[in-house]
Amino acid sequence: MKISKFNLFVLSMLFLVFCFTSAYAQPQSVPNGPYVEDEQNVSLSSIMTNEELAKKLQDLESRSKGIMQLEIAGYSDDLGFPDDKMELGYPLFLCKFGKPDPSKARILITTQIHGNEPLGTEAAINIMQNLIAGGQAAKNILDNVTVWFMPRVNPDGAMHQSDGEWYPIRQSSQDWDPEYFGLAFGTRAPWYYSSRNGGYDLNRDTNPNLDFNIADYSPTVIEGFLNSGATNNSEFGGFFVTPEARIITSVYKRLLPEVFIDIHHRGFNTLTDDDNRQVYIQIAAEVADPYDDPFTGDHYEVSDDVLTLAKQVNAVGWLSLQLGNSAFGAIQKYPEVNLPGTTLGAFALNNTAIMLIEIAGQTQNMGQKASGRLIKTATDPVMAILSALADGSIHDVDPAIYDAVPESANRIRDPSTRDE
């Protein structure tokens, strides 16, 4: 969806007539989730397996006739050490539309860093198909923007098996083995390791110090930090103990994108106490406060210019879904968080404008049609952002549009239990 400068002006005027004067209830949200709850029985019939995703991407590359280059950026079980004897896991794919060209805008889009949040991957496929299909809008984008996709960056969690059944989970699949990293036996696992299911929340394993390596520090220092109860939270950078976090970061460092979009799932809620439309999407332009590295003392913060661009990117996404009083117009900001160990937080602290897209999760009560609507809430904003980056109109957007998006409100819950 292309947004011209004129259309941006019109949409901005429409935005001004929206009044967000309702009193908002205290937000209730679990950051970056949930999608599959333990008590849910979710149909996965419409979700691609890893093998089906690989075939789909190969088909797209073939049909693109050179527009898209498909690359394996790494593997899920490969820790990358010289003496690593582990078998390779699933591939992490990189879909490249163009080379890192300093004369072009550059954007990186990742999906499904939590294995049980699959619809962002479906949206990424739709966006890639749009770019491959051609037409003037796609040509304008590809002439002016380098677009890289990493769909399903947690393939292990996506294909998790429970009692012989396919049951996607949030985490990856690696176990915590401190001795593997040269640490003493019994060293406490990073706070984002799941003792219940095993595996890591990959979206806490990134670090604002993009070159962080446990091996660069004294084991005593690392052990003391991990064993400290005061550090058992998400307001610290991660340790890059998973191959997936290292792979995503290596791709980021190759492209050095101006814009980074990460697509997640969340629960359900209504817009306000006075507007009972179901919120299909929450967005965020900032997820990390200024950060002081506990090991090096280096200081990181998001610059004013980067934050302004992030707000403009999010505003374009918001505007693209304003269709009168439709459900798609029911959008909120994501609850205020400070998460420097996420890809969004770490990359924002390294001078990249970010957009978090949290689409409402799919439950057992939602079928193919509802899933299609949810996918559209990620596809349309990204296409609008690509067009606005291509023609430069992104820089004409008033960042105050983002500031006025309603804050997160009302308890997240299954829409089937909502009062009609």
pLDDT of 20 reads 32
> Mean pLDDT in each 10-residue stretch from start to end of the chain (420 residues)?
44 38 33 38 72 98 97 81 61 97 96 94 97 95 98 95 89 92 95 88 97 96 88 85 97 98 87 81 96 96 98 96 73 94 98 95 50 87 98 98 91 42
The CATH label, of 3.40.190.10, 3.40.630.10, 3.40.50.1820, 3.40.640.10, for the domain at 5-155+243-294+301-417 is 3.40.630.10
Distance CA 3, CA 123 (A): 19
Distance CA 76, CA 94 (A): 13
pLDDT of 326 reads 64
Bridge partners (DSSP) of residue 356 are: 262, 284
Q: How many CA atoms lie within 13 A of 353 on its CB side?
A: 22
Give Cβ neighbours of residue 40 (< 8 Å, ≥ 6 apart): 363, 364
Could you tell me the residue ranges of all domains in the chain? 5-155+243-294+301-417
> DSSP 3-state assignment of 356?
strand
The gap from C-alpha 193 to its chain's centroid, in whole angstroms, comes to 19
Tokens representing 28? 């209730």
Tokens representing 138? 């796609």
Distance CA 196, CA 108 (A): 32
Bridge partners (DSSP) of residue 260 are: 108, 354
* Per-position DSSP letters for 252-289, written without gaps between them: HHHH--SEEEEEEEE---BS-SS---B--EEEES----
pLDDT of 153 reads 98
34: cis peptide before it, omega within 30°? yes
pLDDT of 324 reads 63
Encoded amino acid at 94, one letter: L
The sign of the dihedral angle between the CA atoms of 346, 320, 111, 59 is: negative
Encoded amino acid at 45, one letter: S
Measure Cα distances from 140 to 14, 77, 390 in Å. Answer: 26, 38, 6
